[in-house]
Chain A
């Protein structure tokens, strides 16, 4: 079991969800977050340009079995990229090992509980 954590641009959320659903990844958790990678974003405040330290992003968490990891990565990468070659700030995908999953309602554990 793996945990896929993707940080993407907020405007690509709809596209990423559609792509994931196409690859039969339905169960996801989405949260708004803010952070800083290489990208900078400029806001305007009474005519002055302001570059905030932290840029709004969307975080997607997907717990899945091994078979789904590559399709999910592929789907997110394609859908989250801006333009053909992508732009700075398109985001990251992190994949980590998942030790245990428990479904609270039934107490099931492991792959069954995903």
Chain B
């Protein structure tokens, strides 16, 4: 039986896998020790659990366990990775290169750095959401210390050419940071093969708990250091003080292990379901897929339904289907998604977009239901849309002088 509501917002967060919860529970009650307590079994148990989880996490991304710094999540990882490099390598330069479609945790960190005297170049993306490698290389200058480009985008799912980016950074002796929140656990990520120096990722996007993440910091070729952003007990090799979140770390470890073992099967199944969904919705006229479709996460599709407003569209089924829209009708600014705008999409198409994020627990039955609900709502709202009527009458909407507010 189809169980409602259906969750298709897995880019925002994922449900926790019951196997992860099971692994965590003893560490709330029975094994509650502080991993930094060196003098009794409670501490030893906690430390052992953390060590094991650190190996599980490291193994998923091809890292050495010593290169994993536990954080509270990817926002902290982005801050620590970028500000940490900026401060640590201040004597080498003050210039950072990033791109306009990064997550706010990266963009706002970069803005903070600009306010403190740093210089940041924001690369534009092409219409398919990928950066231009020639532009990247051209932006590097003697003062450049870091290239910060995300692995995969949270709104459109496009995967940046990570290996090419890291090769360019390496060639110029610049460190490479990547926010890999949407990629780790979903597609193969290998810090060595991918040439990544610093990488932020988080448990709750891969069926683990919220409030725990990791920053990978390379120890060899080159040895990278980041300046701590919190002062305290000097945990995590001095880079991140604070008592370790042992149950969270145990859960993160388990989630990484499950992802490593099941990623290939999950991805194959989900890409089939995603393609079924996308192909069915594309049967509706004036419907567009946003972002590169070849270099894209297997479980994501971002689609614009022209002449229908996204939030209005969501309302047609949001009791039964959880989705996100690039429309920002609720925000005070009325500005739609900056990511979609960065692709060069008109505001009207950005307002008309839905993001479908499938996940480990998505079923074909749910996808069939979604296809039906979304299609019906689009058609119903178009009957109600003055823009659709104008389009059908051959009126060029772009030529109308709209009153802007």
Are A and B part of the same complex?
no
